[in-house]
Chain A
């Protein structure tokens, strides 16, 4: 591993200043569960780490309107165990608990979870070309190993999927991200955080260099039922082949509101707006749910070894909605 300087500022403002002073090879260090691994692999080679894992305000607080404000340094395990998250945002608790292992959830922060990198095997292997890691070097996945990779939102230059479970749940919760940058604080919807790869897969977010995620805000949730389901190659401690986060509000047998996002099948947490439009006002039946799934997955452009994800995603969405409609 390349030598690096380490510092641990006390405030978020000091952290932003320290990162700016460190230049383009400085990185924020949260729990380190992804960054330290990438440094061992040689995928990332920072020469300056600014440790933000113990900044003040790593707390979970209710907002005045009944929502939740989650500090960026809150641990994944801490958020999953929070009584309010468990009672009011079950989709988020379930997504967090489906991610990684007990040990990793005790290390990883929620801000770091949002900004973790793809686990595409080519991205993580510095002996291989990868347009995300080395722009212009090529993508061997299309003709190579792509079973786990994207069926939606990908481009000719990149097939990587976003690995987070938590971000998929936060997408249907319409979370907002509070940032601190060199120009001061600002706030953006989570839906605007991530970028599709296009011909610049190395640019994954809308963040400016030095932006620090200080908190995530969840708006209050209505009476809708919500859940997170995940299909993977083994029963636990594996990334999603396909996952679904869904909220469903049914009145008189009809869908009043639905919010749906897929994980494991796209470069970003994939909000299924087409499916949501099909469901608005529709009878809350398996037939409607199947029509909604088909409308969204009509956009899918699978490759030979991940075509199974189209069927899997449709079935998983229908099953999740059927279950939510019965509650």
Chain B
């Protein structure tokens, strides 16, 4: 691995391996990755972080949602090599040691899950949405020019539409996010 660092980068002929430096949940990581690997598979298969889930693997369910440089994204459609120097936070990095993230506490308090498969994606998605997007309009915001105001249930549903829950725990998911949004 140490020797490979001196290979001419970024272009290597196929099958291509590229050295990748990222930060994952606060830890700097240096990895050799196949150009084909998605961020989701990198996290799950190479780093053992199985919190982010592979639901559809096509960007349609949101179970793989993680934060990259603060923005929520679908890690299943993100090529790892395209995220050089990225700061990645997964559900494993939301809590501060034993202190749960407020959203995690609210999900428990509101019983906002049944099987729990979609929950890591729901949590990361809600965390990114509240931290970076709450002051921006959504499709259901009537006045696009002004600030959207407090997020009501309709706003939360629209903003969380990229996260599906096959158990149908939406009612309590919306309530949990509303508790933290206040």
Interface residues of chain A, those whose CB is within 8 Å of chain B, are 1, 3-8, 29, 31-33, 36-37, 40, 47, 49, 51, 53, 77, 80-81, 83, 86-87, 90, 93-94, 97-98, 100-104, 106-107, 235-237
Task: Decide: A5 near B59, CB < 8 A? Known: A77-B133, A81-B136, A102-B129.
Answer: no
Nearest-Cβ distance from residue A50 to partner chain B, whole angstroms: 10
Task: Decide: A7 near B11, CB < 8 A? Known: A32-B78, A33-B77, A86-B144.
Answer: yes
- Pair A236/B139 contact, Cβ less than 8 Å: yes
The reply to whether the CB of B73 lies closer than 8 angstroms to some CB of chain A is yes
- Pair A103/B162 contact, Cβ less than 8 Å: yes
CA distance A140 to B36 in the complex (A): 31
- Pair A103/B72 contact, Cβ less than 8 Å: yes
**Further pairs besides A49-B79, A81-B136: 13, Cβ < 8 Å:** A4-B35, A6-B82, A32-B82, A33-B74, A36-B78, A36-B79, A40-B57, A47-B14, A51-B81, A94-B144, A97-B138, A100-B162, A102-B162
Nearest-Cβ distance from residue A172 to partner chain B, whole angstroms: 16
Residue among B18, B57, B158 facing the most chain A CB atoms (10 A cut-off) = B158
- Pair B161/A107 contact, Cβ less than 8 Å: no
Residue among B10, B59, B81 facing the most chain A CB atoms (10 A cut-off) = B59
Residue of B nearest to A87 (CB): B145
Task: Decide: A29 near B79, CB < 8 A? Known: A5-B35, A86-B144, A102-B125.
Answer: yes
The reply to whether the CB of B166 lies closer than 8 angstroms to some CB of chain A is no
Give the size of the chain B interface in residues (CB under 8 angstroms). 44
- Pair B35/A97 contact, Cβ less than 8 Å: no
- Pair A103/B144 contact, Cβ less than 8 Å: no
User: Which residues of the partner chain A approach B145 to less than 8 Å between Cβ atoms?
Assistant: 83, 86-87, 90
CA distance A93 to B138 in the complex (A): 9
B61-72 interface bits toward A, Cβ cutoff 8 Å, 1 = contact, 0 = none: 010010000011
Task: Decide: A8 near B82, CB < 8 A? Known: A87-B145, A98-B139.
Answer: yes
User: Which residues of the partner chain A approach B137 to less than 8 Å between Cβ atoms?
Assistant: 80-81, 86, 93, 97
Task: Decide: A107 near B77, CB < 8 A? Known: A8-B10, A51-B82.
Answer: yes
Task: Decide: A29 near B36, CB < 8 A? Known: A5-B13, A101-B162, A104-B74.
Answer: no
CA distance A107 to B82 in the complex (A): 11
- Pair A102/B133 contact, Cβ less than 8 Å: yes
Q: In terms of DSSP, what is the predominant structure of the interface of chain A? A: mixed
User: Which residues of the partner chain B approach A236 to less than 8 Å between Cβ atoms?
Assistant: 139, 157-158, 161
Residue of A nearest to B139 (CB): A97
The reply to whether the CB of B58 lies closer than 8 angstroms to some CB of chain A is yes
Residue among B15, B58, B139 facing the most chain A CB atoms (10 A cut-off) = B139
Residue of A nearest to B12 (CB): A5
- Pair A104/B59 contact, Cβ less than 8 Å: yes
The reply to whether the CB of B84 lies closer than 8 angstroms to some CB of chain A is yes
CA distance A104 to B72 in the complex (A): 9
CA distance A107 to B36 in the complex (A): 18
CA distance A102 to B129 in the complex (A): 8
User: Which residues of the partner chain B approach A33 to less than 8 Å between Cβ atoms?
Assistant: 59, 74, 77
The reply to whether the CB of B131 lies closer than 8 angstroms to some CB of chain A is no
- Pair B77/A7 contact, Cβ less than 8 Å: no
Q: Lowest 3 A-B CB distances belong to which pairs?
A: A101-B162, A236-B161, A3-B14
Residue of A nearest to B69 (CB): A106
User: Which residues of the partner chain A approach B18 to less than 8 Å between Cβ atoms?
Assistant: 6
CA distance A101 to B128 in the complex (A): 13
User: Which residues of the partner chain A approach B77 to less than 8 Å between Cβ atoms?
Assistant: 31-33, 36-37, 104, 107
Task: Show 7 residue pairs from A and B whose CB-CB distance is below 8 angstroms, ordered by the A residue.
Answer: A6-B11, A36-B38, A40-B58, A47-B14, A49-B79, A101-B161, A102-B128
